[in-house]
Amino acid sequence: MSGEDRQTCLPLLYLPRLRAESGRSEMPHTMIDLFAGAGGLSEGLREAGFEALYANEIMPRYAETYHLNHPDTIVESSDIRDVEAGKVRSMLNLAKGELDLLAGGPPCQGFSINAPVRSVGDRRNHLFREFLRFAEEFEPQAVMIENVPGLVSFQNGETLSAILKSLEQLGYKSDVQILYAPHFGVPQTRWRTIILGFRDYNEPLAAFPEPLALAPVRVNFTSRFAGRDIVKLPSSSELPSFTSVREAIGDLPHLRNGEAGTEVKEYPVPPVSDFQRIVRTGSFGVINHEAARLSPINMRRLSYIQPGRNWTDIPHDLLPEGMKRARTSDHTKRYGRVDPDGLASTILTKCDPHWGAYFHYDQDRAFTVREAARLQTFPDSFRFTGSRVEQYEQVGNAVPPFLAVAVGRSISRALQSANQSASRTVA
The one-letter amino acid code at 225 reads F
| CA 267 – CA 251 distance, rounded (Å) | 7
Q: How is residue 426 annotated by DSSP?
A: H
Please answer whether residues 245 and 341 qualify as being in contact, where contact means their C-beta atoms are separated by less than 8 angstroms. yes
**CA-CA distances (angstroms) from residue 234 to 76, 220, 226?**
39, 18, 21
Q: Which of the residues 99, 101, 103, 108 is marked catalytic? A: 108
Amino acid at 73: T
Query: Does an H or E element contain 34, and which?
Result: strand 29-34
Q: Side-chain half-sphere of 10: how many Cα atoms within 13 Å? A: 24
- Per the CB < 8 A criterion, the answer to whether 408 and 47 are in contact is yes
How does strand 173-180 pair with strand 191-198?
Answer: antiparallel
351 classed as catalytic: no
Does residue 251 contact residue 276 with C-beta atoms inside 8 Å?
A: yes
> Which residues, 6+ apart, have CB-to-CB distance to 156 below 8 Å?
none
Helices (H), 232-315: 245-249, 274-279, 296-302
Report the distance separating Cα 55 and Cα 399, nearest Å. 15
Handedness of CA 258, 371, 299, 321 (dihedral sign): positive
Amino acid in the structure at residue 40: G
Give catalytic residues, as residue numbers.
108
